Amino acid sequence: MKEKYPIKGSNTLYKVWGIIVFVFAAIKGLVLLFFAVFQLVVSGVVLDFIGKIVGPYIAIGMIFSVLFVGISMAKEISTGIILVREYIKVKWVFIMLAVIYFLDAVGLFVIMILSAIAGVMWLVLLLLPAVVWSVATGIILISKSEKADFTPPEPVPEPNPSVYGVIEGIYGNFKGKQVTLYPGGVCRIGRESGCDIQLVHPKVSRVHCMISMTANGRYQITDYSYNGTFYDNERLTKNIMVEVNPGGMLVIGEADNVLKLK
């Protein structure tokens, strides 16, 4: 089985938000280019009227402006990449970027308050969408970071061919098909296209459950679903791995999808 990571919610929102972040990064790039050209024009005018003494200060200000927008672009691009990618392992990357977005929101909110006190309401209205955007992006990053908690079992490079199990479809989308599972292998069942056994049914979660096999030929089942996973008419406790003997019937969500663990 290929090593994959379970999806606890829809990836569509993350991917769409990631694409929007990329668009914002492109817009910031255009703004940076325009700002750089504008700075050059202004600095040329200032130098003509005031003299070369202010030239270094203008250059320093321009460098800092370019660095600020460039760092901001790097943050947006990094965020877009990890939101668009379906499987991410490192949780601290999400947390770090989320903290940066939350700090951005706090800083912008402080400026909004000061602008409101000063009566500059147009600036308040201008900054409000930026605050909402930063908070929303931070929340989405935190939400997706929960997917980075899952650590798959260590695969066995050379499984013992004498010990293996067969998951056979008895009823439903997988009827008549089967998957062979060796010790250390993982089989993920759900509606997601990345699952090893894909079951398209409204009662089946995106990643409904995960099945692995021990070295002594027993099955380990972990339920991640909303509608439940049943083994031999017994509902499994969600997020708790249960070890069972082969030979039983596995019901996914409801009796529309039944598998036999041989």
Domains in the chain: boundaries: 5-148, 165-261
Number of helical H runs and strand E runs in the chain: 4, 11
Q: How far apart are CA 173 and CA 175, in angstroms?
A: 6
pTM of this structure: 0.42
Averaged pLDDT score across all residues of the chain: 72
Q: Give the tokens for residue 246.
A: 């082969």
pLDDT band at 31, cuts 50/70/90? low
CATH number of 165-261, picked from 3.40.50.1580, 1.10.12.10, 2.60.200.20, 1.20.1250.20: 2.60.200.20
How far from 110 is each of 12, 57, 124, 130, CA to CA, in Å? 33, 28, 10, 12
144-163 as b/e, with b when 16 or more CB fall inside 10 Å? bbebbebebeeeeeebeeee
Taking residues 141-163, report their average pLDDT: 57
> Strands, E, within 25-143: which ranges?
none
Taking residues 126-148, report their average pLDDT: 74
Choice between 49 and 211, residue whose per-residue pLDDT is larger: 211
Q: Is the pLDDT of residue 181 over 80?
A: yes
Cβ of 64: how many Cβ atoms within 10 Å? 10
